[in-house]
Amino acid sequence: MKLADTLSLSLHSLVSARIRSLLIVLAMALGVGAVVVLTALGEGARRYVVGQFASLGTNLVIVLPGRAETTGGFPGAALGQTPRDLTLGDAQAVGQLPGVRRYAPLNVGTAELSSGGRLREVTVLGSNAELLPIRHMTLAQGRFVGSAAQIVLGNAIAQDFFPDGRAIGQRVRLGDRRFRVAGVLTTQGESMGFNTDEIVIIPVDDA
C-alpha cells in the first residue's frame, strides 16, 4: 500500500468515526498528562526530603534511648522492661568521644507560655548553646540562655507576645515557672519536624 493510500484510509477512518477518534486522542492526552504530573510530584517529594536532611548536615549523629537488634530479641521486652532514658552523663560521655566536635543534649516537651494576657501552648526544647550551630540556627536578638530561668523565643512567638520587638529582658511564664527572655531566634521555618519559629528553648537543667 502506498503512502498516499495509507493517509487517505486514515483520514477516512477519522472522519467516519469522529467520536471514537476523539476519545482515543483524549485518552492519550490524559495518560501523558498523568505521567507528567506524577513525575513532577515524585521529584518534588524527593527534593523536599533531601533538603530536610541537607539542612541538618552530613556529619550529624542523633542518639536515642534504647537499642536496635539485628538478630534475636530484646530480653528485657519479654520481662516488660523498657530501655532507660538518656541522662546528661550520657551526653557528656558522647561529647568526650574522639571525633565529636559538639554535642547537645535535647529534651522535648510542650507547655503553656503566658505573658501580658497572652497564652498559648508551645514546643519546649531543653538544651545547651551547642544546639544552635548543630541545627544551623542563629539569633536575631540577644544571646543564648546563659543561666537558669532564661529562655530563647522562636521568632513567631516573639512577634506574637511582643509585637513592638522588645522581647529581650521581658519576663514570661512557662508552665508554673518564670523565665527572662535572653534571645530571639532568626526566622527559619520548619526543619525535620520542628518549626523553629514556634519553639522556645530553655537550659537543659530546667527542662
| Residue spans of the chain under pLDDT 70 | 1-18, 21, 45-58, 66-84, 191-193, 207
Residue pair 149/178 in contact (Cβ under 8 Å)? The answer is yes
Please give the pLDDT value at position 57: 58
Q: How far apart are CA 185 and CA 165, in angstroms?
A: 12
Q: How far apart are CA 82 and CA 66, in angstroms?
A: 8
Task: Give per-residue pLDDT as tens, 44-54.
Answer: 766 655 565 55
Q: CA angle at residue 21 from 3 to 38, to 5 degrees? A: 110
Please give the pLDDT value at position 11: 63
Query: CB neighbours of 140 closer than 8 A, spacing ≥ 6?
Result: 155, 184, 185, 186, 187
Cell (9 digits) for 93: 560521655
Please give the pLDDT value at position 168: 94
Please give the pLDDT value at position 74: 46
Please give the pLDDT value at position 79: 44
Element housing 133 (H / E): helix 131-134
- Give how far Cα 69 sits from Cα of 61, 73, 116, 147, 192, Å: 19, 7, 50, 40, 25
Residue pair 102/130 in contact (Cβ under 8 Å)? The answer is yes
pTM comes to: 0.64
Residue pair 91/127 in contact (Cβ under 8 Å)? The answer is no
Cell (9 digits) for 149: 530561668
